[in-house]
Structure 1
């Protein structure tokens, strides 16, 4: 069991149900922190509780989002034309396809999330852009997601793909084998592919970790991990500089530290 959690949670309890207004939802908490409107009272209450202990969480949410977009820019600038955003969350502009297509207008993008409401939002957003797709899939079942990517999208795993897993793996418990999930996707990737991960750190302030244990047995339950544990997800990849560091260090050297630490790293498959 990872420090910072209080016990095992049922996968069913942590899978979002589309018509359950009493169920805390991590995507909607994050949406609220980003200033979005697609959230409910239970999500706002949890976010406000977190903000009461760490007001900088809204800033950190934007740092994390900006790190993801930087990873997309880097991959597109390196010549990658295919992008898969795993655990995409509620759409927020600019999104992956908008950033990638500023560099390469023909970029193909797939958004994957296990939340039916998130999937519906993505479908509505993506009604017009060509070669941009939304899939309903749970990364805890990577083979199912990979099958969908191969059979229902234009992703060609014989060519480099950029995969983003931003703020996702810390919602996967150790018992759900997060390293094996990453490895399943890695093994499908062609050389030159990119992987970007944003992951909550055990180096976060203990008060923050204590607040987050209030999300147990919901889709917002977290299992924050150490820098070494996060780096281990990049087995089989070459880590790009500056390595596994707080996300703001990828953006600008003068950005402030935050008591909740979100680690960011980008790897390239050799």
Structure 2
């Protein structure tokens, strides 16, 4: 099984349930990342092979809210998921919150965010399986959303926001989302590339999709700029690639072929 190429459970075919996704992953000999859409089926499984990561929905919790009751509830929810992956020997949990403060050195919610990740990291470290990792995903800037769709605490994100979180512990690693990065690059410019290069040692996992700046269009890889970014990452990090694209087998195959060409130089 090629453990560097990963399928996402709700990005293979639109009508797939988890059993379909597992069967398809096994037929391709590729691991599977399970998204929130399939959690109810996931928790009923005795055998979780070939699942390599789980991805809760960012709208289901908040790590930067000033509502202490909801913050505590959010942390406990994520602890429950961490306990699950440790018991099932699933290597990764993706944490993609509803938003990190745009400037952790100035924003009043910095303390909540840092303290939440410290608590989650310590919980993970004290559990039964210290091989499991938190994957911290970069998020797109809020300005690409219509105001009506913004959660209360969503704040625009830059890659540098992630550095103090990634420095908490070695059990927190960087999940680079290509489409989200393209959106941030459109907002914040060339400086985002300089920050990306500082994160090579933490970058272990990539969400592959090229959304052309539109967050709700997860398209197969076609753009030269996207290939250039992924080639730069491959040359420096050799990460796992998880395919988040518009649900279609044809689009998935196109993206896998594109990444294989990058991996093969």
The question of a shared fold, defined as TM-score above 0.5 by the shorter chain, is answered with no
TM score, norm. by length of structure 2: 0.37
The structure where helix makes up a greater share of residues is 2
Q: TM-score, normalised by structure 1?
A: 0.37
